[in-house]
């Protein structure tokens, strides 16, 4: 098996085998960019390594060795060579980019001999020593497992004793002394000298990169980003070029467009006389890439034209790493740039306008879940005007966040588990902080630029981040920070504005972002493309309004029970439930009728000509009854009842399995007058609205929890009779549809029979999941996290449809129902209606519509368009 590919043997589309970085380097080489020479060890090799119990095996080692000698031939340099030593970088590169999660070793090939040769060749002893000490530190950290701080302490001590602040102020002699101290640290830890044989260094580094695939932070990152654990990482071995070879050398990172806003302008930073890690680590503050023009016009022009060509070639925004070695430009890496939601949308739309991609491609580029981030809050402008701004850093990742200050990842996680909102405050973040970054509302760092770890990772997560906030003096160990003489302790509240970089004292209320320009255009394209309709689940005029603003084409589920909980009606609802006989119940229902009617009236008014499916009462009745002693006493006195009698009544209504108890259509069968009242309220409200504004309302009444065709037959008749009675009394006649939810497995299996009495089906996938898996919706939280971590179910089946099980029932039901009625309208109104993966499934099965909560409507619109595009491929 071929485990190693030279860069010029690969191509951009070999990502699975060569990893993202390897495939890109090969592609860059193929299109003629100045890329340092090298080769890639495949992801297959990594997987083989794990299969062989973490053993590289002879075959792989021999392929690495022969690729190395080929590299030596091409470069005219030799690893460990006495005349012209080759130095290489060893970098991880998975199929899906995982920035900062795995390990890298630079300057490999350095040893006590080569350092001298390099000093001579570069005529810069300081540079040679600096490279060697960096190498020892990195190799020791990544390969030998000696933590970085051991070396940092030595380095800082020497700087302090020399009275210097910048690394560049240390002389070659200082660095030599540091190297000797570093070697001692290594010896103390591994009881062996620092490895001097470059070939051995190389093999050790490759193995360390393989191992880093399974380090804890990489695993957490994969979990958080839904990346499979068995992809493995490739390893790239590449000739080093040096950005720290004097003042005509430098290194930087650039984005071809603005990764925060999407604006079409080169965005990036560089540092002269530095190595790549210096830019990302945020130890020195870099200059904007535009300043390169002044530094070296020729290099800048070449950089600009190459960068433009790269974007045209890849037809997407690129994130580029470059190095200038003594005035010569090299590209070390290019990859599809991570971006904020706003930037993703703007770039996609602009690229359609620029003729680079089609509308369909633009839509396929949008991960529907990022839309959620667009709808994330910004601070309420009024509250913001009054807020106390304490300082300002870099607006590293947009959004608005408020919460309590914590300084360590584990403290953030613990606080989150206690229900607190938190802000992670650090000097600078590193991949170890990943869990804290995931769990916090926002991140504040004292150091670092726009491409620092904190900034890049936060943008990727769509999380608010203010970086490089130099006024913030953090003492992580004391869990405090100062701004001027203002002290902030763990637990104190602050707010971050990721759009401006401003930091505020206290909590600021936030408001949601409005839709605008690019977003609106993209959504319009999605609407033109998609076949499934998108409705919303809404029970209040406010939710209905929000959903319509987000593009909902109707209400797919109006849960009437939520209307029963409001203060002015709960006493009447209770009166109805506790009625001793039908007269008493009817009496209470007569009082409820005008209130329900007003509910529906307001909803119809809000929806205009858009359809609304109203579901009749569903939950078990005891949910409406009080449980606290004081509330029971109050109700007893209101109902003129003895407390004891009321308590008995309530106890009689308690159920062992309420979710499988007296609820849904079973209420309609046992207390038909409740459903009658609701139907009357619906039809009368619709008639009033039609008379008021001429809306063409077609009633849609939905019966919940049907499992047997007879239930639906009985309740359909009841509903129709109620509607017809109202029509008879007035002059108005409205069209109507009586449909049902499919949420009981028996209903799915007998969908052909049930369809006979239904004008539409709406799959209630919450209950259908509950009943198919036998997982209580209310109790599954106790065991689902373990089920997920053990991959029994990869995702929470209440959020993302269990396509294998519940999906199979849905397929059976749809097929059977359409055998009875080929044009039966079928949709879904469970939580899964807002989940992009589930939406793909519903599209495949042939649903007419999906219905989801208002804030998921835009996600559903994009996901439905993507489903349509995919179905045509
Ligand atoms: C469902 O069961 O999927 C549904 C939409 O109904 P509810 O969540 O109200 O039970
Ligand atoms: Mg349900």
Express each pLDDT in 558-585 by its tens digit.
Answer: 999 878 877 778 889 999 999 989 999 9
Q: 837: CA distance to ligand 2 center in Å?
A: 21
Provide the pLDDT for residue 398. 79
**Residue 322 reports pLDDT greater than 80:** yes
Residue keyed to tokens 């990893």: 19
Q: How many residues does the chain have?
A: 873
- Rounded to 10 deg, the angle between the 198-212 and 125-142 helix axes is 50
Q: Which atom of ligand 1 is nearest to the CA of 831?
A: 3
Q: 383 falls in which pLDDT band (50, 70, 90)? A: confident
Q: 483: CA distance to ligand 2 center in Å?
A: 52
The answer, yes or no, to whether any atom of ligand 1 lies below 6 A from the CB of 765, is yes
**Residue 451 reports pLDDT greater than 70:** no
Instruction: Dump the DSSP string for 428-451.
Output: S--GGGHHHHHHSSEEEESS--TT
Check residue 402 and give left, alpha or beta (phi > 0: left; psi -120 to 50: alpha).
beta
Rg from Cα positions in the chain = 33
Q: H-helix or E-strand containing 98?
A: none
Asked whether 768 and 730 are in contact (CB, 8 A), the reply is: no
CA pair distance 1, 746, nearest whole angstrom? 52
CA pair distance 188, 181, nearest whole angstrom? 11
Question: The tokens of 279 are what?
Answer: 């830019």
Q: Where are the alpha helices (DSSP H) in 625-694?
A: 629-638, 643-653, 665-670, 672-693
Which residue, among 112, 118, 101, 117, has the nearest Cα to 136 in the 3D structure? 112
The lowest-confidence range among 182-186, 373-377, 391-395 is: 373-377
Question: The tokens of 793 are what?
Answer: 């179910």
Provide the pLDDT for residue 514. 59
Measure the CA dihedral 348/351/352/355, to 10°: -160
Provide the pLDDT for residue 283. 65
pLDDT mean over 16-21: 93
Q: 769: CA distance to ligand 2 center in Å?
A: 10
Q: Name the closest-CA residue to atom 1, ligand 1.
A: 764
**Residue 516 reports pLDDT greater than 70:** no
Q: Which residues pair with 702 in a beta bridge?
A: 615, 739
Which residue, among 316, 307, 312, has the nearest Cα to 347 in the 3D structure? 316
Mutate to test the pocket of ligand 1, among 537, 615, 618, 661 (most ligand atoms within 8 A of CB): 618
Measure the CA dihedral 717/722/725/727, to 10°: -100
Q: 114: CA distance to ligand 2 center in Å?
A: 72
Share of the chain above pLDDT 90, in %: 70
The answer for residues whose C-beta is within 8 angstroms of residue 838's C-beta and 6 or more apart is: 765, 800, 801, 803, 832
Question: The tokens of 430 are what?
Answer: 């590193």
CA pair distance 94, 270, nearest whole angstrom? 25
Question: The tokens of 177 are what?
Answer: 């002394």
**Residue 369 reports pLDDT greater than 90:** no
For the sheet containing 486-489, what is the strand order?
472-475, 480-483, 486-489
- Which CA distances in Å does 345 have to 77, 308, 361, 522? 46, 20, 12, 7
The answer, yes or no, to whether any atom of ligand 1 lies below 6 A from the CB of 610, is no
Q: Name the closest-CA residue to atom 4, ligand 1.
A: 764
CA 870, 871, 873 angle in degrees (round to 5)? 65
For the sheet containing 502-505, what is the strand order?
388-392, 502-505, 493-497, 400-406, 422-426, 442-445, 464-467, 394-397
Q: Name the closest-CA residue to atom 3, ligand 1.
A: 764
pLDDT mean over 94-113: 86
CA pair distance 807, 835, nearest whole angstrom? 14
Provide the pLDDT for residue 462. 65
pLDDT mean over 395-416: 92
Q: 777: CA distance to ligand 2 center in Å?
A: 10
Which ligand minimizes its atom distance to the CA of 838?
1
Q: Which atom of ligand 1 is nearest to the CA of 561?
A: 9
Q: Name the closest-CA residue to atom 10, ligand 1.
A: 767
Provide the pLDDT for residue 460. 61
Asked whether 426 and 433 are in contact (CB, 8 A), the reply is: yes
The answer for residues whose C-beta is within 8 angstroms of residue 355's C-beta and 6 or more apart is: none
Provide the pLDDT for residue 26. 94
First-last CA distance in the chain: 33
CA pair distance 50, 47, nearest whole angstrom? 5
Residue keyed to tokens 């602050």: 494
Provide the pLDDT for residue 529. 97
Q: 224 falls in which pLDDT band (50, 70, 90)? A: confident
The answer, yes or no, to whether any atom of ligand 1 lies below 6 A from the CB of 777, is no
Which pLDDT tens digit goes with each residue over 812-871?
Answer: 999 999 999 999 999 999 989 999 999 999 999 999 999 998 888 999 999 999 999 999
pLDDT mean over 423-445: 90
Provide the pLDDT for residue 449. 75
Q: 631 falls in which pLDDT band (50, 70, 90)? A: confident
pLDDT mean over 786-799: 88
Strands (E) in 22-121, as ranges, are 38-41, 78-79, 85-86, 88-94, 104-108
CA pair distance 841, 457, nearest whole angstrom? 31
Instruction: Dump the DSSP string for 509-554.
Output: -EEEPPP-HHHHHHHHHHHHH--SEEEEE-SSHHHHHHHHHTT--S
CA pair distance 180, 555, nearest whole angstrom? 73
pLDDT mean over 697-721: 98
Asked whether 412 and 463 are in contact (CB, 8 A), the reply is: no
CA pair distance 616, 702, nearest whole angstrom? 6
Mutate to test the pocket of ligand 1, among 555, 617, 741 (most ligand atoms within 8 A of CB): 741
Q: 732: CA distance to ligand 1 center in Å?
A: 32
Which pLDDT tens digit goes with each residue over 668-702?
Answer: 999 999 999 999 999 999 999 999 999 989 999 99
What is the pTM for the complete model shown? 0.73
Q: 735 falls in which pLDDT band (50, 70, 90)? A: very high
Q: Which atom of ligand 1 is nearest to the CA of 829?
A: 5
**348 burial class (0-12, 13-18, 19+ CB within 10 angstroms)?**
buried
> For 494, which DSSP code?
E
Mutate to test the pocket of ligand 1, among 765, 766, 852 (most ligand atoms within 8 A of CB): 766
Mutate to test the pocket of ligand 1, among 764, 772, 832 (most ligand atoms within 8 A of CB): 764
The answer, yes or no, to whether any atom of ligand 1 lies below 6 A from the CB of 559, is yes
The answer for residues whose C-beta is within 8 angstroms of residue 805's C-beta and 6 or more apart is: 772, 773
The answer for residues whose C-beta is within 8 angstroms of residue 596's C-beta and 6 or more apart is: 560, 563, 677, 678, 681
The answer, yes or no, to whether any atom of ligand 1 lies below 6 A from the CB of 539, is no
The total of other beta-carbon atoms located within 10 Å of residue 571's CB is 15
Q: Name the closest-CA residue to atom 8, ligand 1.
A: 766
Which ligand minimizes its atom distance to the CA of 557?
1
Q: 3 falls in which pLDDT band (50, 70, 90)? A: very high
**Residue 513 reports pLDDT greater than 70:** no
Question: The tokens of 97 are what?
Answer: 């980019």
Q: 766: CA distance to ligand 1 center in Å?
A: 5
Between 836 and 794, residue with greater pLDDT? 836
Buried b (16+ CB within 10 A) or exposed e, 351-370: bbeeebbebbebbbbbbbbb
Question: The tokens of 361 are what?
Answer: 């491609």
Asked whether 561 and 597 are in contact (CB, 8 A), the reply is: no
Q: Which atom of ligand 1 is nearest to the CA of 762?
A: 5
Between 781 and 257, residue with greater pLDDT? 257
Residue keyed to tokens 């309609």: 668
CA 460, 462, 468 angle in degrees (round to 5)? 75
Instruction: Dump the DSSP string for 231-275.
Output: S-EEEEEEE---S-SSTT-EEEEEESS-TTT--SS-EEEEEES--
The answer for residues whose C-beta is within 8 angstroms of residue 841's C-beta and 6 or more apart is: 801, 803, 807
Between 97 and 193, residue with greater pLDDT? 193
Which 3 state secondary structure label does DSSP give 139?
A: helix
Which residue, among 326, 329, 142, 306, has the nearest Cα to 252 in the 3D structure? 329
Residue keyed to tokens 């299969």: 51
CA pair distance 134, 124, nearest whole angstrom? 16
CA pair distance 627, 620, nearest whole angstrom? 14
pLDDT mean over 526-550: 93
Q: H-helix or E-strand containing 807?
A: helix 806-820
The answer, yes or no, to whether any atom of ligand 1 lies below 6 A from the CB of 764, is yes
The lowest-confidence range among 65-79, 95-109, 660-674, 723-737 is: 95-109
- Which CA distances in Å does 629 have to 381, 626, 636, 653? 44, 8, 10, 16
Share of the chain above pLDDT 70, in %: 97
The answer for residues whose C-beta is within 8 angstroms of residue 811's C-beta and 6 or more apart is: 845
Q: Which residues pair with 379 in a beta bridge?
A: 510
Q: 280 falls in which pLDDT band (50, 70, 90)? A: low
Q: Name the closest-CA residue to atom 6, ligand 1.
A: 764
Which residue, among 337, 331, 362, has the nearest Cα to 261 in the 3D structure? 337
CA pair distance 834, 534, nearest whole angstrom? 10
Provide the pLDDT for residue 847. 98
The answer, yes or no, to whether any atom of ligand 1 lies below 6 A from the CB of 766, is yes
pLDDT mean over 249-269: 91
Q: Which atom of ligand 1 is nearest to the CA of 537?
A: 5
Q: Which atom of ligand 1 is nearest to the CA of 830?
A: 3
CA pair distance 671, 678, nearest whole angstrom? 12
Q: 664: CA distance to ligand 2 center in Å?
A: 8
Catalytic residues: 453, 829
Q: 679: CA distance to ligand 2 center in Å?
A: 19
CA pair distance 209, 215, nearest whole angstrom? 10
Q: Where are the alpha helices (DSSP H) in 375-424?
A: 381-386, 409-417
């Amino acid at each position: 098996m071929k485990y190693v590919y030279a860069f010029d043997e690969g191509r951009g589309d070999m990502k699975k085998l060569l990893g993202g970085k390897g495939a890109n380097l090969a592609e860059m080489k193929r299109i003629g960019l100045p890329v340092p020479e090298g080769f890639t060890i495949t992801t297959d090799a990594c997987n083989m390594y794990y299969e062989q119990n973490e053993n590289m095996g002879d075959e792989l080692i021999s392929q690495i060795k022969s690729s190395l000698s080929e590299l030596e031939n091409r470069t005219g340099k030799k690893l460990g060579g006495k005349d012209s030593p080759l130095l290489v970088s060893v970098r991880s590169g998975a199929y899906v980019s995982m920035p900062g999660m795995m390990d890298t070793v630079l300057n490999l090939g350095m040893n006590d001999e080569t350092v001298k040769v390099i000093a001579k060749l570069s005529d810069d002893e300081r540079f040679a020593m600096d490279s060697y000490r960096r190498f020892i530190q990195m190799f020791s950290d990544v390969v030998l497992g000696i933590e970085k701080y051991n070396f940092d302490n030595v380095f800082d001590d020497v700087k302090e004793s020399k009275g210097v602040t910048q690394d560049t102020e240390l002389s070659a002699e200082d660095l030599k002394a540091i190297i000797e101290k570093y070697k001692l640290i290594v010896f103390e830890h591994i009881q062996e000298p620092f490895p001097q044989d470059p070939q051995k260094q190389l093999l050790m580094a490759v193995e360390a990169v393989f191992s880093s695939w399974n380090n804890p932070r990489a695993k957490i990152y994969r979990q958080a980003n839904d990346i499979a654990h068995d992809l493995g990482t490739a390893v790239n071995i590449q000739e080093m070029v040096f950005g720290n070879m004097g003042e005509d050398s430098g290194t930087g990172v650039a984005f071809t467009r603005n990764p925060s806003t999407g604006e079409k302008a080169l965005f990036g930073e560089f540092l002269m006389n530095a190595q790549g890690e210096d830019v990302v680590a945020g130890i020195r503050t870099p200059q904007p890439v535009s300043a390169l023009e002044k530094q070296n016009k020729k290099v800048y022009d070449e950089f600009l034209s190459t960068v433009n060509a790269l974007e045209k070639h890849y037809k997407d925004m690129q994130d580029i790493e470059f190095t200038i070695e003594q005035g010569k430009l090299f590209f070390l890496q290019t990859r599809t740039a991570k971006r904020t939601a706003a930037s993703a949308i703007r770039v996609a739309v602009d690229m359609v306008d620029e003729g680079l991609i089609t509308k369909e491609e633009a839509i396929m580029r949008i991960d529907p879940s990022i839309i959620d981030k667009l709808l994330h809050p910004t601070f309420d402008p009024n509250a913001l005007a009054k807020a106390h701004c304490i300082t300002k850093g870099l607006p590293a990742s947009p959004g608005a966040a408020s919460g309590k200050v914590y300084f360590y990842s584990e403290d953030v996680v613990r606080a989150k588990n206690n229900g607190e909102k938190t802000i992670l405050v650090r000097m600078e973040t590193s991949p170890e902080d990943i869990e804290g970054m995931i769990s916090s509302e926002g991140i504040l760092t004292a150091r670092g630029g726009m491409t620092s770890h904190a900034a890049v990772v936060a943008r990727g997560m769509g999380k608010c981040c203010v970086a490089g906030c130099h006024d913030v003096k953090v003492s992580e160990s004391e869990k405090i920070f100062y701004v001027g003489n203002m002290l902030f302790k763990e637990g104190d509240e602050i707010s971050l504005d990721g759009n401006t970089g401003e930091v505020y004292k206290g909590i600021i209320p936030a408001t949601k972002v409005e839709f605008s320009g690019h977003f609106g255009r993209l959504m319009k394209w999605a609407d033109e493309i998609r076949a499934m309709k998108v409705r919303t689940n809404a029970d209040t005029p406010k939710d209905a309004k929000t959903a319509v603003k987000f593009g909902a084409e109707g209400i797919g589920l109006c849960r009437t029970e939520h209307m029963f909980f409001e203060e002015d009606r709960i006493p009447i609802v209770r009166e109805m439930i506790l009625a001793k006989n039908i007269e008493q119940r009817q009496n209470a229902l007569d009082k409820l009728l005008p209130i329900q009617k007003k509910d529906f009236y307001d909803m119809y008014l809000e929806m205009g000509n858009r359809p609304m499916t109203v579901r009749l009462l569903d939950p078990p009745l005891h949910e409406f009854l009080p449980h606290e002693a004081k509330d029971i006493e109050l109700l007893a006195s209101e109902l003129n009842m003895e407390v004891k009698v009321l308590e008995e009544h309530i106890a009689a209504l308690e159920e062992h399995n309420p979710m499988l108890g007296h609820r849904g259509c079973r209420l309609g069968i046992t207390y038909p007058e409740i459903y009658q009242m609701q139907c009357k309220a619906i039809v009368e409200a619709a008639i009033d609205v039609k008379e008021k504004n001429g809306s063409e309302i077609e009633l849609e009444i939905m019966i919940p929890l049907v499992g047997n065709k007879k239930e639906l037959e009985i309740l359909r008749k009841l509903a129709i009779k109620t509607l017809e009675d109202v029509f008879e009394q007035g002059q108005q006649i409205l069209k109507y549809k009586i449909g049902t939810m499919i949420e009981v497995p028996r209903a799915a299996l007998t969908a052909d029979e049930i369809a006979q009495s239904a004008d539409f089906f709406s799959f209630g996938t919450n209950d259908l999941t509950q009943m198919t898996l036998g997982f209580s919706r209310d109790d599954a939280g106790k065991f689902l996290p373990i089920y997920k971590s053990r991959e029994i179910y990869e995702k929470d089946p209440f959020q993302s449809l269990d396509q294998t099980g519940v999906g199979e029932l849905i397929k059976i039901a749809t097929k059977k129902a359409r055998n009875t009625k080929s044009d039966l309208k079928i949709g879904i109104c469970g939580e899964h209606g807002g989940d992009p993966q589930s939406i793909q499934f519903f599209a495949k099965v042939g649903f007419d519509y999906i219905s989801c909560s208002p804030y998921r409507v835009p996600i559903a619109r994009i996901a439905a368009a993507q489903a349509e595009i995919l179905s045509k491929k």
